[in-house]
């Protein structure tokens, strides 16, 4: 069973009388534990597609199934619940909560979204911080750590609730080459360790180099056969 499956997926935005088609009938499938990058120029529809996969938006037509759930059927609350349970997010700007420590940032999804008991939460957070090499920085605030460290914390936060899928929007855009490489290595290691599917949207050639499957988007359409391994397009 595919983790993600899209058929004739379209998304059209309306601005006054003008309609803009961001996605024009996209079909693809992504298997569990894949390491996938969606690439393409600005305006090609990468972010729109990631928003749809992340249940942050609804398709205009077509079908998108995430973990066998048709995301078009999810209302606002159900979508939030679905994201909390199954999807982790890594953002370009890290988006850590500044008033929380590293530990608390990673703990946040378990505490405020999933409401795990404290002891179980602590074990899980420490496990993830250890996995991303940030256990010794747990007490620090985001403004006291470097960009690379922030992104490692963000990866830990994305993985802490054991999601099946992590979506990363330009996760290396604000990192230097060496740090970006380390973060990508970390993500791959996490994928291997937790069997989590990583889906990126990126311009970054470094990610393209690391991705096992590459989908190229152009003008809202998916270009065929632009991937290293077989993607089901």
Closest distance to another protein from the beta carbon of 51 (Å): 5
How many beta carbons lie within 10 A of that of residue 178, not counting itself? 9
How many beta carbons lie within 10 A of that of residue 143, not counting itself? 8
Taking residues 27 to 66 in sequence order and writing x for each that binds another protein by CB under 8 A, - otherwise, the string is ------------------------x--x-xx---------
Distances from the Cα of 112 to the Cαs of 107, 116, 126, 151, in angstroms?
8, 9, 17, 21
Q: Per rule CB under 8 A, is residue 88 in the interface with another protein? A: yes
Residues in contact with another protein, counted by CB under 8 A, come to a total of 30
Distances from the Cα of 124 to the Cαs of 4, 42, 83, in angstroms?
27, 37, 19
Q: Which two tokens stand for residue 66?
A: 């995430």
Closest distance to another protein from the beta carbon of 210 (Å): 24
Q: Per rule CB under 8 A, is residue 14 in the interface with another protein? A: no
Closest distance to another protein from the beta carbon of 211 (Å): 22
Residues that bind another protein (CB under 8 A): 51, 54, 56-57, 76-77, 80-85, 87-89, 91, 93, 95, 97-100, 108-109, 111-114, 157-158
């Amino acid at each position: 069973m595919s983790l993600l499956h899209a058929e004739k997926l379209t998304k059209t935005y309306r601005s006054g009388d003008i309609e803009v088609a961001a996605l024009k009938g996209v079909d693809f499938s992504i298997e569990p534990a894949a390491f996938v990058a969606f690439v393409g120029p600005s305006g090609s529809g990468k972010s729109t597609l990631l928003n749809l996969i992340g249940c942050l938006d609804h398709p205009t037509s077509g079908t998108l199934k995430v973990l066998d759930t048709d995301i078009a059927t999810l209302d606002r609350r159900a979508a939030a619940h679905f994201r909390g349970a199954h999807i982790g997010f890594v953002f370009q700007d890290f988006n850590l909560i500044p008033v929380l420590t590293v530990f608390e940032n990673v703990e946040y999804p378990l505490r405020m979204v999933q409401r795990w008991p404290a002891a179980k939460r602590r074990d899980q957070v420490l496990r993830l911080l250890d996995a991303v090499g940030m256990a010794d920085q747990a007490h620090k605030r985001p403004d006291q750590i470097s960009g690379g460290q922030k992104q490692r914390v963000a990866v830990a936060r994305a993985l802490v609730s054991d999601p099946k899928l992590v979506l990363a929007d330009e996760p290396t855009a604000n990192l230097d080459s060496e740090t970006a490489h380390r973060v990508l290595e970390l993500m791959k290691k996490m994928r291997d360790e937790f069997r989590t599917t990583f889906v990126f949207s990126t311009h970054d050639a470094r990610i393209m180099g690391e991705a096992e499957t590459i989908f190229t988007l152009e003008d809202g359409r998916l270009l065929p056969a632009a991937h290293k391994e077989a993607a089901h397009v």
